[in-house]
Amino acid sequence: MSRRLYQLTLFLRGMVLPDNRDACFKNLAGMLSIIGSFCGLAYLLESQGVLNLGMVGVVSCGCGYLLYLFLLKNTLSTGNTAEEEPSVDRTMNKKAMTTSCVIAFIAIASCGISWHAMAVRGAAKISNLPQSCDIYANQGKWMQLNGCDEGPRGEEYRNYGISPVSTCSAQNSVFVWGWQEQQASSHCRFKQRDVKSLKKHLKDRTIYFAAWNADAGSYNAVEGKHQNLSAKIGDIKVEFIWAGYATDIVEAVTNLTLTNSLEDNLDLVVLGGGAWDRLWKYDTDEEKKALKSVVGELKTGIKKLKKLKVPVVWLTPTSINTVALPTEEKRAKINEDEMKIIRDLYESQDILSTSSFVIDGEAFTHSRVSESFDGVHYPHSVYSAGAQILCNAMDWLLPTPKVGPLRAPPHPGAMAHPLLGFMVLCFAAAVYNDVGCRAVLVYS
């Protein structure tokens, strides 16, 4: 087999690159023109939205048939001499030609069907999540995981993508957020993102949060309330703009749009709100109309940010623990039923459909609503699920990592010295000469 492959390689090399400069240039020009033509055809089909497996099969069969006729015609014409009959039809066996074309078509169809079957079953390398996964990003649930039992830990890992938890306590279990398993063909393999990979993906990024305290989650849990915050984590810059009301969010979006138009330093914006408007500015008909108008302005602002190629994420209000609200006024105005009205308002004004991605606050809080200690806020561990949903969405919101300025190469160590390097070269030269002399003596 090795000899046959070697002979075939030599034969093909002689055909493509013969011992003739003009023929070599001619063959190379032909190959480049064919490759360029196929690339142009692929670009044309992609621009028309018809680049699919069926079209690739049709183009392959058609171009292959034309190439087969071209080679057959030129081979027969060069093989015929002047004494032979001019009729080439006698030499061309139509039956053999048809058989060859059928075999080639079957081979192409078999390859296409097998590739399609592998694609349907998800037989591909694990890469970033595609944008089509946004409809599944909020589909998950909290799993009560016993860190001391390997059986449930393995089951949760296989079915929900939950990484191993090192907690092993005899008193209670831990809750870990996991996503529902999707079809392998969707390539939606959600997982808990670690700090190292996230820092690498978000290198040199600037992310803004414009929301009120509950939407900010654990970002400002240890900081003062109702104020702007700023943090720098390695090469990642994170800014939090306190925006309790819808008017504050619109103002923040307007300022960010103006700033990014001048400096182009904005990579992602996360927005959220609704509870404060319902609590303080949603009692009269005039206030309701005003809020609806402001939400419409917010929609326009989001569109402007997206035109600047800045992804916008909207975080819907989390579930409300009505019985835990501290005052009668809050229990009357921002209970779960009233907050549903606010969620529907933002959805009816196309805030959700206009945003690049939506984090469903209810998805990761409704099953743990009893843990909301004041009816609105949740422990840090609950907010971590929303953070993980956002981290997975970074794959399609910010698919291409930024390339920052090149770092200076590391300096040589303390033991590095030019004289030491010269000494090593001399030692290598001496060894080389010694080996050479020994070889000469052996052969002599």
Least confident of 262-266, 270-274, 328-332, 340-344: 262-266
Least confident of 103-117, 215-229, 240-254, 389-403: 215-229
Convert the pLDDT of each residue in 135-160 to its tens digit. 999 999 998 776 666 676 677 666 66
User: Please, what is the average pLDDT of the chain?
Assistant: 82
Is the four-CA dihedral 204, 210, 211, 212 of positive or negative sign?
A: positive
For the cut 50, the answer to whether the pLDDT of residue 82 exceeds it is no
Q: What would the DSSP string read from start to end of 32-66?
A: HHHHHHHHHHHHHHHHTT--SHHHHHHHHHHHHHH
For the cut 90, the answer to whether the pLDDT of residue 71 exceeds it is no
Higher-pLDDT residue of 87, 439 = 439
User: pLDDT-based confidence at 70, cuts 50/70/90?
Assistant: confident
pLDDT at 218: 40
For the cut 80, the answer to whether the pLDDT of residue 335 exceeds it is yes
Return the top range by mean pLDDT from 106-120, 214-228, 281-295, 423-437: 281-295
CA 30, 31, 37: angle at the middle one, nearest 5? 90
Distance CA(204)–CA(237), nearest Å, equals 7
**Residues 335-351, mean pLDDT to the nearest whole number:** 93
Return the top range by mean pLDDT from 77-81, 331-335, 398-402: 331-335
Buried b (16+ CB within 10 A) or exposed e, 342-375: bbebbeebebeebbbbbbbbbbbbeebbeebeeb
Least confident of 59-63, 247-251, 288-292: 59-63
Kind and range of the H or E run holding 166 = none
Domains of the chain and CATH, by start = 203-397 (3.40.50.1110)
User: pLDDT-based confidence at 76, cuts 50/70/90?
Assistant: low
**Residues 310-330, mean pLDDT to the nearest whole number:** 92
Residue given tokens 């991605």 in the structure block? 357
Contacts of 191 (CB under 8 A, 6+ apart): 161, 163, 392
CB atoms under 10 Å from CB of 243, counted, come to 24
pLDDT at 221: 40
pLDDT at 127: 80
- Helix, strand, coil percentages, rounded to 5, for the chain: 55, 10, 35
Q: Are 177 and 156 in contact (CB under 8 A)?
A: no
Q: What would the DSSP string read from start to end of 61-121?
A: HHHHHHHHHHHHHHHHHHH--TTS-S-STTTS-HHHHHHHHHHHHHHHHHHHHHHHHHHHT
For the cut 90, the answer to whether the pLDDT of residue 304 exceeds it is yes
CA 71, 77, 80: angle at the middle one, nearest 5? 135
Contacts 24+ apart (CB under 8 A), 387-392: 387/217, 387/218, 388/177, 388/192, 388/193, 389/137, 389/138, 389/140, 389/359, 389/363, 389/364, 390/270, 390/313, 390/359, 391/193, 391/198, 392/129, 392/133, 392/137, 392/190, 392/191, 392/193
For the cut 80, the answer to whether the pLDDT of residue 227 exceeds it is no
pLDDT at 17: 78
Q: What are phi and psi of 378, to 5 degrees?
A: -125, 165
Higher-pLDDT residue of 148, 301 = 301
For the cut 80, the answer to whether the pLDDT of residue 424 exceeds it is yes
pLDDT at 97: 79
User: Structure tokens of 311?
Assistant: 């992804």
Q: Are 303 and 354 in contact (CB under 8 A)?
A: yes
Q: Are 212 and 271 in contact (CB under 8 A)?
A: no
For the cut 60, the answer to whether the pLDDT of residue 220 exceeds it is no
For the cut 90, the answer to whether the pLDDT of residue 253 exceeds it is yes
